[in-house]
Amino acid sequence: MKYLMLIYSSPATWNALSQEQRDQLERDHSALYHELVESGEWIGGNALADPSTGTAVRVRDGVTMATDGPYAEVKEHLAGYDLIECDSKERAIEIAARIPDAAVCGVEIRPVMETGAGSELW
């Protein structure tokens, strides 16, 4: 099953870390990435730019509205994601717990719905 690991961050939390701690988080994430690539469980992922660089798009009554971010007053924001494929939710939780950001902010796991031919969604 495929799982999307939504990695959350907080500027206040990140800024409170020392440069050494930040470097260690990046090394730990890199090590986990290489392990998941070797095991065949990693499908893809990326860090995301700061929310202030985003644009929200909504269509109401046929009119497209684009609003530059940030959009909501939140302490944490979506900072990146990893897409994995593993045998169980328990394994996905195990992987998410090893994402360094889980120790300082949080990681949300979401199963990916299968879409396309024969799918109930489409």
Closest CA to 110 of 86, 79, 89: 89
pLDDT in tens, 17-75: 999 999 999 999 999 999 999 999 999 999 999 888 888 889 999 999 998 876 666 67
Whether residue 71 is contained in a domain is answered as yes
3-state helix, strand, coil in the chain (%, to 5): 35, 35, 30
CATH code, domain with 66: 3.30.70.1060
pTM of the model: 0.83
What span, in angstroms and rounded, lies between the C-alpha atoms of 122 and 107? Answer: 28
Q: How many domains does the chain have?
A: 1
Residue-number span of the structural domain to which 73 is assigned:
2-111
Q: Looking at residue 71, what is its pLDDT?
A: 64
Structure tokens at 2: 């495929």
Whether residue 74 is contained in a domain is answered as yes
